Structure 1
Amino acid sequence: MLEIMLMVCIGALAAVMANLGIAVFNDGIRPIVPENLEGRMTRKELGVTAFAMSFGLVIGFGIPISIAGSIILIHSILLGSDIIGLALDRGKVKTTIAAIIGGLYGAGIYMGLQVVVDLFTMLPLNFVDAFNKVGDPVVVSFMVFPAIAIALQFGVKKGIIAFAIAAFARQLIVFTNGAELIKIGSTPVVLSPEGIALVVGMFLLIFFAMREKSEETNLSTLATLFTDRVARIKKHRWILMLSGGLVAAATNLLLIAGDPISLNLLAEGKMSEGGIAALAKAIGFVPLIASTAIATGVYGPIGFTFVFAAGIFAPNLGIALLIGALIIFLEIQLLTKLATFLDRYPGIRASGENIRTAMSRVLEVALLIGGANAADAIVPGFGFFAIAGFYLINEIAGRPIVRMAIGPVGAIIVGIVGNLLVLLGLYTP
C-alpha cells in the first residue's frame, strides 16, 4: 500500500505542476510552456504538442525498459503526467481533475507493470529472462558518453583522447580488483570499472568546458535577464521540494530509477554502482536543465536529478524523503549563482545539449544491441533477422518509432511472434 500511495502521489503532483506551469519533465516541452502562460499559444496547441513529444517515448522507451529491469523508469510516469497536466486547462476544477487522473495513472503504471510481467511468465514461451538481456550492453556502453560529448563539442581528436583515458582507467580498475591491490584493513575493496571510467570521462568533459571563459565584462546575462522567471521558480519551491522528496523515497524503495543505466545496475543489486551512474548523469544534465529553467521559469519535477542518487545512497525511506526535498531547495536557491557561473563558462552551458545528444546516441546503440541479443535468445536466428529488419524498415519509413525504442520493442514483438510459432507447432524452445 505504501508503494502504491507513493506512485499515486508522484503522478498526481507531477500532473498538477504541469497543469499550473510550475514544472514539466520533458526538456523539449519546458521552453514551450511560457508561450501558453504568456498567451502566445492556446492550451489545446500545448496539449497536442506535449502528446506528440512524449507519448511515443512512454510507450516505446519508458515502459519496455521498465519491463526489462522490473523497476519503473521515471520517464514512464512523468512524461505521461506532463501530457495529463498540459492537456487540461488551468483552474480549480480542471487542476483537481488533473491530480486525480495523474494519481490513477501513477498507480496504473505500478500495478500494470507487474501484471504484464506476470502475463509473460504464463505464456508457452516465457521470454522474461531473455528479455532482461536488453539492458546488458547499456551499463558498459554508457561510460563512453562523456568522450562522445567531448568529440561533439571540442573535436574528434580530444574525444579520442578522452575515450582512450577512460578506457585505460576502466582496465586499470579491472586489474586492481583482480589483484586485490586496494584494501581497507585486510578487506579487498572492489570498485566499479564502468563507474570509474564514467567519472574520469566526466572530469575530462568539465576540464575542457571550463577552459572556455567569457571575455565579456558583464558576466550575469542569464541572471539579470530572467530575474522574474527565477523568482517564479522560487515562489513554488515548497511543492517542488515535496516532489523531490517523494521521488527520492520511491527510488530508495527501488520502485523507480532515473535512467536506463542506473536502473539496470539497481536491478542487478549493484547499489553503489547505480548511485555513481545516477550522480554522473545528474552532473552532466545540470547545464541543460539549469539553462532551460532559468530562461523559462519552469522547473523540472525532479530538479537536476540528484534526487535519484540521494534515494539510492540514503539508508532508509525517511532520510531519502528529507534529503530529496533539501536537494531541490538548495538547487533552487542556487539558481542565480548558477546562472552567473554558466555565463562565466559558456563551454559548460554549451555542454548541456552535447551531453544530451551523446547520451541519446549511446543509448540508441546499446539498446539496439541489447534488443538484438534478447530477441536472438528468445528465438535463435530469427531474433537477429527480425531486429535488423525492424530497424531498417523504421529508418526507411522516416523513423515513426524513436531509435532508442527499436531494440526493446523489437524484442517484445519477437517474444509475441515466438509464442505464436510455439502454438502453431513451428518452433520448439
Structure 2
Amino acid sequence: MDLYIQIIVVACLTGMTSLLAHRSAAVFHDGIRPILPQLIEGYMNRREAGSIAFGLSIGFVASVGISFTLKTGLLNAWLLFLPTDILGVLAINSLMAFGLGAIWGVLILTCLLPVNQLLTALPVDVLGSLGELSSPVVSAFALFPLVAIFYQFGWKQSLIAAVVVLMTRVVVVRYFPHLNPESIEIFIGMVMLLGIAITHDLRHRDEND
C-alpha cells in the first residue's frame, strides 16, 4: 500500500513539473529559463529547445542524479526534475507533457531498487565509484554562499566566512565522521551569509538614523 502511495505522489509531482515546463511557467534548471521566451514567441521550435535542455541537463542527471540515487537509495531533485524539464519542453501538448512526466516518475521509483540490487551483487564496488562522481559537484555547491558573500560584502567578510567553513569541515571530518561534511559546509555558509547580511543591514539603518 505504501509503495502505491509513493508511486502516485511521485507520478503526480513529476507530471506536474513536466506540465509546468511545457507551459513555460517554471523549470528546475536555471539554464533553460532564458530560452523559454524564445519558445513562447515562436522564434524556436520545441525540438530545438529540447535539444538545448538535454545538453544542459544530461551531465547533471548522470553525474549527480543517477550516481547519488544509486549510492544512497534516495530520490533527488536532479534525477526527478531535470528530465521532466526536457520532457515538458519536447512534448507537443499539455496532456503528453503530464503523461511523460508521470511515466518518468513511475519508472524511476520502480526501477531504483532492482538496479541497486543488481549493482550491489557485482564483484566490483560500482556504487562507491558512482557516488564519487557527485562529490565534486556537491563540494562546489558549498562554495556558493562564500561567492555570494564575496560579491555582496567584499573579500574581508568572505575570507572570514571561508575560514569558519574550513574549520567546520575539519571538525566534522575529525570528530563527526558519520555526518556529510559538504552539507554542513553549505549550512554554515548560509548561516554566515544571513548573519553578515543582517548585520550589514542593521549597521546601515543605524547610520541612516
TM-score, structure 1 normalization:
0.38
Q: Identify the residue that residue 37 of structure 1 maps to in structure 2.
A: 40
SS of structure 2 residue aligned to 1:110: helix
Structure 2: distance between partners of 1:138 and 1:43: 29
Rounded to whole Å, the distance in 1 between the matches of 2:51 and 2:115 is 28
Match of 2:81 in 1: 78
> Counterpart in 1 of 2:11?
8
**Structure 2 counterpart SS, 1:24:** coil
CA drift of 1:139 comes to 8.0
Q: Which amino acid aligns with 2:97?
A: A
3-state SS of 2:31 partner: coil
Q: Which runs of 5+ in 1 are unaligned?
A: 179-191, 214-429
Q: Which residue of 1 is the match for residue 31 of structure 2?
A: 28
Q: Which residue of 1 aligns with 2:148?
A: 149
Per-residue deviation, residues 78-113 of structure 1 (Å, max 9, x unmatched): 110111111123xxxx32122222111111111222
How far 1:130 sits from its partner (Å)? 7.1
Do 2:165 and 2:188's aligned partners in 1 also have CA atoms closer than 8 Å? yes
Residue pairs, 1:293-332, within 5 angstroms: none
In structure 2, relative to structure 1, the CA distance for the partners of 1:150 and 1:121 (3 Å cut) is same
**Relative to structure 1, is the Cα distance of residues 153 and 128 closer, same or farther in structure 2, using a 3 angstrom cutoff?**
same
Aligned length: 191
- Kindly report which structure 2 residues correspond to 1:161-200, keeping only aligned pairs within 5 A, or say none: 161-166=160-165, 170=168, 197-200=188-191
1:251-307 per-residue CA deviation (whole Å, 9 max, x = no partner) reads xxxxxxxxxxxxxxxxxxxxxxxxxxxxxxxxxxxxxxxxxxxxxxxxxxxxxxxxx
Residue 180 of structure 2: aligned partner: none
How much does 1:22 deviate? Answer: 1.9
What are structure 2's unaligned runs of at least 5 residues?
177-182, 205-209
TM-score (norm 2): 0.72
Distance verdict in 2 for CA 1:102–1:28, change over 3 Å? same
Contact 2:27 2:85 in 1 (8 A): yes
One-letter amino acid of the structure 2 residue matched with residue 120 of structure 1:
L
8 Å contact kept, 1:8–1:102: yes
Q: Distance in 1 between matches of 2:136 and 2:32?
A: 30
Give the Cα–Cα distance (whole angstroms) in 1 for the partners of residues 132 and 58 of structure 2: 25
The whole-number CA distance in structure 2 between the counterparts of 1:141 and 1:56 is 15
* Corresponding residue SS for 1:150: helix
> Using a 3 Å threshold, how does the CA distance of structure 1 residues 207 and 78 change in structure 2: closer, same or farther?
same
Query: Which residue number corresponds to residue 110 of structure 2?
Result: 111
Q: CA deviation at 1:127?
A: 4.4
Which of 73-82 and 152-161 deviates more? Answer: 152-161
Q: Deviations over 1:114-142 (max 9, x none)?
A: 22211112112344467657778988886
2: CA distance, partners of 1:28 / 1:58: 14
CA distance change for structure 1 residues 126 and 42 in 2, over 3 Å: closer, same or farther?
A: closer
- Aligned-residue CA RMSD in angstroms? 3.5
Q: Which has the larger radius of gyration?
A: 1
Could you tell me the percent identity over the aligned residues? Answer: 30
Contact 2:161/2:189 (8 A) holds in 1? no
Q: In the alignment, which residue of structure 1 is the partner of 2:194?
A: 203
| Equivalent residue letter for 2:7 | I
Other-structure match for 2:72: 69
The residue number in structure 2 matching 1:102 is 101
Is the Cα–Cα contact under 8 Å of residues 166 and 200 in structure 1 kept in the other structure? no
Contact 1:139 1:194 in 2 (8 A): no
Quote how far apart the aligned CAs of 1:42 are. 2.5
